[in-house]
Amino acid sequence: MSEIPRILTETRGPVLVITLNRPEARNAFDAASAQALEAAVDRLDEEDGLFIGVITGAGGHFSAGADLKAAARGERAATKRGGFGMFARPPRKPVIAAVEGYAVGGGFELCLSCDLIVAARTAQFGLPEVRHNVVAVGGGLFRLPRRMPYHLVMELALTGAFHGADYFHRLGVVNRVVETGEALEAAVAWAEALLVNGPTALAATKEIIRRSGDWTDEAAWSAQMAYARPALESEDRKEGLAAFAEKRRPVWKGR
């Protein structure tokens, strides 16, 4: 009998829906899961016809983080893109996390590797690594302090406590809160709403915002152009200007 795929992908027009598919383990990541997510992320980046990604989890949960049993066997849930196949090198195109149930440990850090977060009201987030004498090295300890107050990050990380979607929405970490069971469709609908915008400009805008924390204002004027130029010289830019002049909806190609 063939092994069940760790990651499922589905195209909804230019939107790639990526589903973490280990529901029996609350979508915890082992080495095979990381490799499969990396392949899906590579596909999102490489295919011109894919503009936005949505990551969700099967079985009512996003991800419980690393598979500790696999880790105890010596497996590393990491690839050339970093932990879980994405932490260190997220895709250049925008990605929305659609969260139901638990997004804890590396599952929370996977959300923080995305650009937008839609969460069910009953979703739970946290960094419980310290409970197992593990350190959260998937980006949460330096990404969260850039997005919420220092003392609240310390409380979260040092206690290992979980908090709900409303808590993180108030702090600006979660973008939108929806009813239980509606996170995926809400995320896909948001992705489709973004498709009125030029895809190469979306990717360039994401990259400039993501990298700008490392730039001084003086350096940023020139540094941003390395990411803006492909969009400004693309077929889509010509199409966008032509569509505006002709008062019609643009037909984007992603190149």
Q: How confident is the model at residue 1 (pLDDT cuts 50, 70, 90)?
A: very low
Mean of the per-residue pLDDT values of the chain:
95
Q: Could you tell me which of 130, 137, 77, 76 has the C-alpha nearest to residue 112?
A: 137
pLDDT at 4: 87
129 is catalytic: yes
Question: Residue 182 and residue 168: Cα distance in Å, rounded?
Answer: 18
Q: For 34-61, how does the pLDDT look when each residue is reduced to its tens digit (9 = 90+)?
A: 999 999 999 999 999 999 999 999 999 9
Annotated catalytic residue within 109, 179, 182, 185 = 109
> Between vectors from CA 46 to CA 110 and to CA 185, what angle results, nearest 5°?
50
pTM of the complete model: 0.94
In order of 111, 123, 126, 163, 177, the CA distances from 169 in angstroms are 13, 11, 14, 11, 7
Q: For 134-176, how does the pLDDT look when each residue is reduced to its tens digit (9 = 90+)?
A: 999 999 999 999 999 999 999 999 999 999 999 999 999 999 9
Strand bridging mode 102-104 / 78-79: unpaired
Ramachandran category for residue 185: left, alpha or beta (phi over 0 → left; psi -120 to 50 → alpha): alpha
Q: For 210-246, how does the pLDDT look when each residue is reduced to its tens digit (9 = 90+)?
A: 999 899 999 999 999 999 999 999 999 999 999 999 9
Annotated catalytic residue within 38, 100, 129, 207 = 129
